[in-house]
Amino acid sequence: MKIALHASLDPAHLQFMQQMGLRHVVSGVDASPEGVVELEPMQRQREAYAKAGMSWDVIENLPALCYDKLMFGLPGRDAQIEKVCQSIRNIAKAGIEVLQYQWMLLGGLRTEYSPTGRGGARYPRFDMEVAKRMPAAAMDWLRGGGPYPHLPDRDMSQQEVLDNLVYFLERIVPVAEAEGVKVAAHPDDAPVPYYMGVGRILVDEAGMQKVIDAVPSAHNGLGFCMGTIGTMDRVDVVQAIRRFGGQQRIFFAHFRNPRGQVPKFDEVFPDEGDIDMVAAVRAFNEVGFDGVIRIDHCPGVVGDNGRADRSFAFQVGYLKGLVNAIGELGGN
């Protein structure tokens, strides 16, 4: 596996990653006002990473406003399809292999950054009871930037949300196949089946399998977020790695360890959560996963900077320790 961080172009951040021995980065992209991810900015960004000795392997994520009409089934969705396909062609030309997207109509849900962690560390938290009292504010990771991408004006069933996704995939996956780009669906975080009357479909293993099966292709798969999948009701992450990795449908992974499952969980340090991370890395090895695994959200620690370098350093060291120890001491 290739360990990565979400990278900015700040020279200090790139040097920080070099010092930790990282060679792979993940980044988001901006779309033009017309909703197309343009080639030239990606080429410039890729070149900047290359100068630092790093490979940009994954786009995370396709901007939601490139496909919001598709998610909500609104007029104008076919025009968005064309632009997403053009974006995929540009991504291929830029040499980036994986495009992750989030079919989360209401974004990522959190209700608190709670200073109740180890040594007073701040843990991102989701608690459905709290979310019911502040549904709009809990959207988009509690960033306070407003509802993401917008509030629903009617109820939508899980079937309707799935139908919209299948409509999307049937039209973009053939383009992705032709261009050699893998499209990876991030599961719904928090994995609750409904929020504000709107269905969320990637909330359990069956839902993830439906997305894979809807358009069978070696280019249609998952952004396997260990943290999100670990918070799905009664889901075992190690078994899920074996299931979806065994189908070669894990295109990209997030490394994160939660404590608890829906309706309430905390994102804790990787060494203290509910997932057996040793077994998880072994399972990734067993299924031959050789893609990018990005260190995901992390607890807030004392005196950290805006990029959370200290907390990320702990997590990078932790994942490297797992990989090296398993490699050097055997086991698989």
Partner 1 sequence: MELALSVQHGQDDQLIFSQQLGADSVVVMVDNLDAPTLKAARNRVERSQLKLAGIDVPPAVVQDLAGFSEGLRHAGEVGIRLVSSDWRGATAAPRPVGRGTALVRAVAASAPAWEILEEFAAQAGPVAQAAGVRLACRAGAGMLREAKRLLGVLPALDLDLLEAGSAGVSAEEFIGAAGAKLALVHACNLRQQQQAFLDEGEVSLPKVMQALVRAGFSGPLRASLPPGMVEDTAWGHKGRAFDLGYLRAVLQVIERSGK
Contacting positions for partner 1 (CB under 8 A)? 12, 15-21, 117-121, 269-272, 276-279, 299, 301-303, 305, 309-311, 313-322, 324-326, 328-329, 331
If the CB atoms of residues 210 and 310 are measured against partner 1, the closer one turns out to be: 310
CB of 13 to partner 1, least distance (A): 9
Produce one character per residue of 32-65: b if its CB has 16 or more CB atoms within 10 Å, e if not.
Answer: eeebbbbbeebeebbeebeebebbbbbbbbbbbe
Return the structure tokens found at 223. 């952004």
CB of 22 to partner 1, least distance (A): 9
CB of 143 to partner 1, least distance (A): 23
If the CB atoms of residues 19 and 154 are measured against partner 1, the closer one turns out to be: 19
What CA–CA distances, in Å, run from 118 to 230, 231, 272?
A: 20, 20, 9
If the CB atoms of residues 73 and 327 are measured against partner 1, the closer one turns out to be: 327
What CA–CA distances, in Å, run from 67 to 29, 96, 142, 147, 179?
A: 14, 20, 22, 16, 19
If the CB atoms of residues 204 and 266 are measured against partner 1, the closer one turns out to be: 266
CB of 115 to partner 1, least distance (A): 11
CB of 279 to partner 1, least distance (A): 8
- How far, in Å, CA of 266 to CA of 226, rounded? 13
If the CB atoms of residues 206 and 329 are measured against partner 1, the closer one turns out to be: 329
CB of 245 to partner 1, least distance (A): 20
CB of 324 to partner 1, least distance (A): 6
105: left (phi over 0), alpha (psi -120 to 50) or beta: alpha
If the CB atoms of residues 19 and 33 are measured against partner 1, the closer one turns out to be: 19
If the CB atoms of residues 179 and 304 are measured against partner 1, the closer one turns out to be: 304
CB of 49 to partner 1, least distance (A): 14
For residue 194, report the phi and psi dihedrals to the nearest 5 degrees: -140, 145
If the CB atoms of residues 246 and 331 are measured against partner 1, the closer one turns out to be: 331
